[in-house]
Structure 1
């Protein structure tokens, strides 16, 4: 007797709360019972372009605050903006450590897209692990991709080989697997106490951003650092083995979405060599490189990331930029921006 496959759409929304800024907060339950916190900024039209923003490891959807604010300011109800917290992050629920896999995040993304009934053109934008999630989604067979993205923005991310470069080389040590096993067996309270000592340096590093010098950028950086400090050690240790195994290079050549890849020359977590390889492998991809920006490009190169999203969505405003241009108004963007068409 054959067994019917599980439905793609999960047990969808427990509640929806509207806010003065137009945002609707939703709580979705995945097929394996994990609650995901979703923020939906709806459009005036059902068939409007939609952007889904995917955050990085130990961060939250709040890391995209600058982009969400600027996209809403520029385009208002002409576009739909969606952010959500990955399992084990932000306001979303925790999950068993074995489910902390990039492939599972791609499955979660598929369920979110199906549940939200996106009818207009879709653009995916992912920072760090969020970019890996987007690429893993595109690496799934077509039948497991409920919506095919027309646009793609990859920010400070990689397609694999993370343990070969930068700080990621630490993943190649046996300590990665040992930490997973240790935390998997430790009581929850003990792991929560241990997390502060282990990831405080990362939070401190994230708070030292270049930014655009505005109060909004400072607040965004502070929120980012706070998210890292508040993260669970179970989440941190759970995803490390998955990052070590992650490899989607095989899927890059088949990506048909209009793609922009953004990298920072001072990024020690995902060095720009990762972005160069991605841009070279995806047909027609445009590589935007900020020599002085670090891993937190959502703050270090906020305007560039927002512009890339607008262009990927087909909402580009103003005249075409030159291949090499200077921008002004902040310490990071004042550095020369190199644009490479791969």
Structure 2
């Protein structure tokens, strides 16, 4: 089956984030943002049909945003991705709204940038579709800077993407925008939602984003100064900060899953049960960074991480933590002999007294957890 062209970055085991483009652009729209997001997520950028390297045959006259959303789900399915977070710009943002409303079981967190739940009726988009089918994209591409960026700013690669898009596929995307109006379904969206407006955006002014934020339950709105319609290209640092903060909930949940897998439900439940408003941010910090970023990094296996952790805890004399991580090491597949070998190594590099105490701690834990006890 022919699928949308895509580009994947980041650890294969990290939470998945799909990034959608605006009309007339390609995956290059996210060039200044995606590499940074890939530190904590498996980032998958995709091209619209007839844009970038996606086949134009994937779309035809009378297409809808729901059709584009189906192509995105087909892409996710082909990659074995069941649930994912999603961020999209303009038409890409409309696809995100469609996905969140129609397929809530697939969307973890949603970010809608410089987009709308409707694009000011059908007449303008029908006219544009007819013009492009008749004349091609050269004249329209010549006005891209004025529609996309604040005065004096440009990204030549994106303007060239506009110029080189397939006219028929571009016109079919215009058909989709002409027919799109999701205002009556916004309240159905249950995914945590961030809405981002470019304060200088003439195509989808901040009022359009406020309309989404007001209707989607619990949605947050961020306005970015100095940004027009393609905010990720014009103000990447501000967009990155907003997306990182919004997506952090995904990393925290992923980190909590890993924390439970390594330390066990009983330990984590006790820690959560002792949590107070004073310690809540620290518990979130542990889940997000220690377990959501370090322990999910695929560079080292969990067995290797357990070995490293054991020696570090011996070196610093953290004996309560050592006991916890001896149990974690067993869950991660280390045998008692391998744990003993790691502790023997610490006798050389951390000192015999430190290793002596560590062996006593490990012996107690291994006996307590032995079958029959």
Interval of TM-score (by shorter of Structure 1 and Structure 2) = 0.5 to 0.7
| Runs of 4+ residues deviating >3 angstroms | 176-184, 203-211, 315-319
SS of equivalent to 2:85:
strand
* Unpaired runs of at least 5, structure 1: 1-10, 12-28, 30-34, 165-170, 212-217, 320-342
- State the match for 2:173 in structure 1: 239
The structure in which a higher percent of residues are helix is 2
Structure number with the bigger relative contact order (C-alpha 8 A, sep ≥ 6) is 1
Query: Which residue in the other structure is 1:106 paired with?
Result: 69
Length, aligned pairs only:
253
User: Does structure 2 conserve the Cα–Cα contact (< 8 Å) formed by 1:123 and 1:312?
Assistant: no
Unaligned runs of 5+ in 2: 253-280, 283-373
SS in 2 for 1:150: strand
Specify which of 137, 158, 169 is matched with residue 116 of structure 2.
Answer: 158
Aligned to 1:172: 123
Give the match for residue 138 of structure 2. 196
8 Å contact from structure 1 (residues 55, 130) kept in 2: yes
Deviation at 1:127, TM superposition (A): 0.5
Q: Is the 8 A contact 1:66 1:302 kept in 2?
A: yes
The residue correspondences of 1:1-342 to structure 2 (distance < 5 A) are: 11=1, 29=2, 35-45=3-13, 48-72=14-38, 75=39, 78-95=40-57, 96-98=59-61, 100-118=63-81, 122-140=84-102, 142=103, 148-160=106-118, 162-163=119-120, 171-172=122-123, 176-177=125-126, 180=129, 191=135, 194-203=136-145, 206=148, 221-314=155-248
CA RMSD of aligned residues (A): 2.9
More strand by share: 1
Q: CA deviation at 1:149?
A: 1.4
CA contact (8 A) 2:62 2:175 kept: no
If the length of structure 1 is used for normalisation, what is the TM-score?
A: 0.66
TM-score (norm. length: structure 2): 0.61
Distance apart, 1:157 and its partner CA: 0.4
Q: 1:151 to 1:239 in 2, by over 3 A?
A: same
- Indicate conservation of the 8 Å contact 1:294/1:300, yes or no: yes
How far the C-alpha of 1:242 sits from its partner, in A, is 2.4
